[in-house]
Chains A and B, each alone.
Chain A
């Protein structure tokens, strides 16, 4: 008798950015193996781009690296 079991594993990554001056930019969920709603992806993209521009002066973050 085959009694093999299959359990799904969900994987998530959340991030908060702690700036050098001590302030915290909360970003939250950036990755979810079950996928993210298109609106949440768009909201995340806009927030990170805006933070990049405000904190580093460039939409895509610092040059190099």
Chain B
């Protein structure tokens, strides 16, 4: 298991500091054989597949817009946090999740893989995703 602001996420970060780009506030998820997240990843793959809220469908993307805030972990406002809930309209087992800078498609900012969480139709996962900047 691993969780990273991926290489493309660093690009988004520096671009946002420059006052450009789009906030990576959109949550996506995927299913499939879990593989350890790599810094070079640009999507939910390679072995996991990004899925719609209907976990049986992999065509296209339908990210869930989360609510972003700044939080304090160690130092005032050192944490970028996104909270969002995705509800499964089709059953499946979620093995990874990530933040993107667009509601559909877009660029991957942060990704994590984890032990597969089984969801029946109507079940939901509330994600709390944090990037903590610390000297």
Interface residue ranges, A against B (CB under 8 Å):
7-20, 27, 30-33, 36, 41, 44-45, 48-49, 51-52, 55-56, 58, 60-62, 64-65
Contact = CB atoms under 8 A, between A and B. Distances in A.
B4 A33 contact: yes
Interface in B85-135: 85, 87, 90-93, 97, 110, 112-135
Contacts of B124: 17-19
Nearest to A14: B128
Contact of B125 (A9, A12, A15): A15
B121 A20 contact: yes
A55 B51 CA distance: 21
B-side interface size class: 35 or more
A29 B115 CA distance: 11
B116 A13 contact: no
A52 to B, nearest CB: 4
Contacts of A16: 125-126, 128
28 contacts: A8-B134, A9-B133, A11-B5, A11-B131, A13-B97, A13-B112, A13-B127, A13-B130, A14-B127, A17-B117, A17-B126, A18-B85, A18-B125, A30-B117, A31-B3, A48-B116, A51-B118, A52-B93, A60-B116, A61-B118, A62-B92, A62-B93, A62-B119, A62-B120, A64-B56, A65-B51, A65-B90, A65-B92
4 closest Cβ contacts across the A-B interface? Answer: A65-B92, A61-B118, A20-B122, A61-B93
Interface of A is mostly: mixed
A10 B132 CA distance: 5
Nearest to B87: A18
Interface of B: 1-5, 31, 51, 55-56, 73, 85, 87, 90-93, 97, 110, 112-135
B112 A31 contact: yes
